[in-house]
């Protein structure tokens, strides 16, 4: 069995990174940092003092430790500032963050999920316009789109997730599979071989809607008639009962034998455990769970694969990515200068390198040095032909839930046509 140890972030490495970050910040300030140049409407206040306690609101509890390290060095460079992490669960953050941040008592600096939450927060006027800030240029331009609205850069997508199944590179050969398949027949054949070898082909957290839906991204990416397929379902231009989506649901039905027992009732943690214990060849979530799998003791090499649901010569995309954890500065904050300085600090490649390797997350900044073995193994995906995760095109979360639940119902045993009709009724009611 191969072993891919995760490099530790030593204090020397951390201090070296922050030394470089400090130099980068000085250079930026000398050019056109906060407080200089013209401010567009809604730009954060930059003339005030960089002091006081800044609340940083987010949902990634698993990143608390690495953010603590980053914050400690930020405070050394800005001794009049403290930063408190205000962390909620992802579900609570989805449902309550807007109200809390709009009050101005939490989230001087904050983040949003790409899609409905970001759209709603921009509409609520709590995102400051960062378009004129020089540090925006530190990000890869293609990934910044998820933080724009009406041509303005309100937020900075920080995390670059790869929302497609993770697989155990040691187990595929045990099923007689030398490399990931390039078409749907090959994917089913691979699953059949893995099952015949006594393995669970796919661990799928179907009992947890937020994580069950990740697989849907890959399942529709080559089936849909356009890249904005879910936006068009929401607008009424497409329907859940259209042939392309019925095909997708039929393919979910074909996958039923290859998920673990009671897959539609399985939460994400048990699914991770099944995968980490080498009982399953694939975990149908994404790169963002590789760190959790390592924390469960997994030593095997991992990579990513997406089911290709069409013939190889018809495949437009190889996989899925998402640019999320959209950083912003709260317009309601009384500490905007300090919050902006913190966001600027996070936006330096050296600090981004510390965060990426400490969190096992690819990020959207230029010049990041991925030292973590899993990040290096999956880094080639950053330049492959991938589609921006379509499930986050939904702005109405009731419609999104109905569409995603159709796939879950099919895995439970509902006929695809019936599941589609049930979902479409909800879509029609909510539009």
pLDDT of residue 178: 87
Q: State pLDDT tens for residues 323-343.
A: 999 999 999 999 999 999 999
Q: 19-28, 93-102, 231-240: lowest mean pLDDT where?
A: 19-28
How confident is the model over 261-268, as a mean pLDDT? 96
Phi, then psi, of 331 in degrees rounded to 5: -65, -20
**149 pLDDT exceeds 90?**
yes
Alpha carbon distance 5, 9 (integer Å): 12
pLDDT of residue 16: 43
**309 pLDDT exceeds 60?**
yes
Residue 72: CB atoms within 10 Å: 12
Q: Which residue has the higher pLDDT, 417 or 3?
A: 417
How confident is the model over 293-308, as a mean pLDDT? 97
Alpha carbon distance 408, 213 (integer Å): 9
- Do the strands 200-203 and 152-153 form a parallel or antiparallel pair, or are they unpaired? unpaired
Residue 45 pLDDT grade (very low, low, confident, very high; cuts 50, 70, 90): low
Question: Quick one: which of 151, 157, 158, 156 has its CA closest to 41?
Answer: 151
How confident is the model over 83-95, as a mean pLDDT? 93
The angle that helices 336-346 and 349-359 make with each other, rounded to 10 degrees, is: 70
Q: 43-47, 84-88, 266-270, 271-275: lowest mean pLDDT where?
A: 43-47
pLDDT of residue 91: 83
Alpha carbon distance 156, 348 (integer Å): 12
Alpha carbon distance 219, 245 (integer Å): 9
**15 pLDDT exceeds 80?**
no
Instruction: Write down the residue that tokens 């999920």 correspond to.
Output: 113
Structure tokens at 285: 């979530």
- Average pLDDT along the chain: 90
Alpha carbon distance 116, 320 (integer Å): 19
Q: 125-129, 171-175, 316-320, 321-325: lowest mean pLDDT where?
A: 171-175
Structure tokens at 221: 């990416």
Angle at CA of residue 73, ends 72 and 76, nearest 5°: 90
**Which residue ranges form the domains of the chain, and what is each CATH number?**
11-160+323-379 (3.40.190.10), 166-321+381-430 (3.40.190.10)
Q: Between the CA atoms of 381, 385, 386 and 387, what dihedral angle is there, to the nearest 10 degrees?
A: 170
How confident is the model over 278-296, as a mean pLDDT? 95
Residue 278: left if φ>0, alpha if ψ -120 to 50, beta else—which one? Answer: left
Percentage of the residues of the chain whose pLDDT score is greater than 90: 84
Residue 220 pLDDT grade (very low, low, confident, very high; cuts 50, 70, 90): very high
How confident is the model over 98-114, as a mean pLDDT? 94
pLDDT of residue 24: 39
pLDDT of residue 48: 72
How confident is the model over 239-267, as a mean pLDDT? 98
Residue 413 pLDDT grade (very low, low, confident, very high; cuts 50, 70, 90): very high
pLDDT of residue 30: 33
Q: Contact at 8 Å (CB) between 184 and 258?
A: no
Q: 86-95, 160-169, 224-233, 294-303: lowest mean pLDDT where?
A: 86-95
Q: State pLDDT tens for residues 66-81.
A: 999 999 999 999 999 9
- Dihedral sign, Cα of residue 422, residue 424, residue 426, residue 429: negative
Q: What is the CA 382 to chain-centroid distance, rounded?
A: 13
How confident is the model over 366-378, as a mean pLDDT? 95
């Amino acid at each position: 069995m191969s072993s891919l140890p995760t490099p530790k972030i030593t204090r020397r490495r951390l201090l070296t990174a922050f030394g470089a970050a400090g130099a980068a910040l000085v250079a930026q300030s000398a050019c056109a940092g906060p407080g200089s140049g013209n401010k567009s409407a809604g730009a954060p206040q930059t003339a005030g003092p960089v002091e006081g306690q800044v609340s940083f609101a987010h949902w990634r509890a698993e990143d608390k430790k690495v953010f603590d390290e980053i914050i400690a060095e930020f405070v050394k460079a800005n001794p009049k500032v403290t930063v408190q992490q205000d962390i909620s669960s992802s579900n609570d953050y989805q449902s309550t963050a807007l109200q809390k941040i709009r009050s101005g008592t939490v989230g001087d600096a904050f983040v949003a999920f790409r899609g409905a939450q970001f759209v709603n927060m921009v509409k609520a006027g709590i995102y400051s316009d960062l378009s004129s800030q020089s540090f925006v240029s530190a990000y890869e331009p293609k990934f910044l789109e998820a933080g724009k609205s009406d041509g303005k850069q309100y937020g900075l997508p920080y995390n670059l997730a790869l929302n497609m199944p993770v697989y155990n590179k040691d187990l595929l050969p045990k099923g007689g599979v030398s490399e990931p398949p390039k078409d749907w027949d090959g994917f089913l054949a691979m699953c059949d071989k893995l099952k015949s070898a006594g393995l669970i082909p796919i661990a799928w957290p179907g009992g947890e809607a937020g994580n069950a839906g990740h697989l849907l991204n890959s399942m529709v990416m080559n089936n849909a008639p356009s890249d904005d397929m879910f936006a068009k379902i929401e607008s009424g231009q497409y329907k859940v009962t259209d042939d392309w989506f019925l095909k997708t649901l039929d393919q979910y039905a074909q996958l039923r034998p290859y998920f673990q027992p009671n897959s539609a009732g399985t939460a994400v943690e048990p699914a991770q455990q099944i995968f980490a214990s080498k009982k399953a060849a694939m975990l149908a979530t994404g790169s963002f769970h590789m760190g959790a799998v390592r924390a469960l003791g997994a030593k095997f090499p991992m990579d990513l694969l997406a089911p290709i649901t069409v013939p190889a010569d018809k495949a437009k995309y190889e996989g899925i990515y998402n640019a999320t954890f959209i950083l912003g500065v709260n317009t309601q904050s009384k500490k905007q200068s300090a919050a902006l300085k913190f966001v600027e600090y996070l936006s330096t490649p050296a600090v981004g390198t510390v965060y990426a390797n400490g969190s096992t997350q690819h990020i959207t900044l230029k010049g990041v040095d991925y030292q973590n073995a899993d990040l290096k193994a999956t880094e080639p995906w950053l330049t492959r032909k991938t589609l921006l995760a379509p499930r986050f095109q939904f702005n109405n979360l009731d419609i999104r839930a109905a569409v995603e639940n159709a796939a879950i119902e099919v895995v439970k045993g509902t006929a695809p046509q019936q599941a589609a009709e049930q979902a479409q009724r909800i879509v029609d009611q909510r539009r």
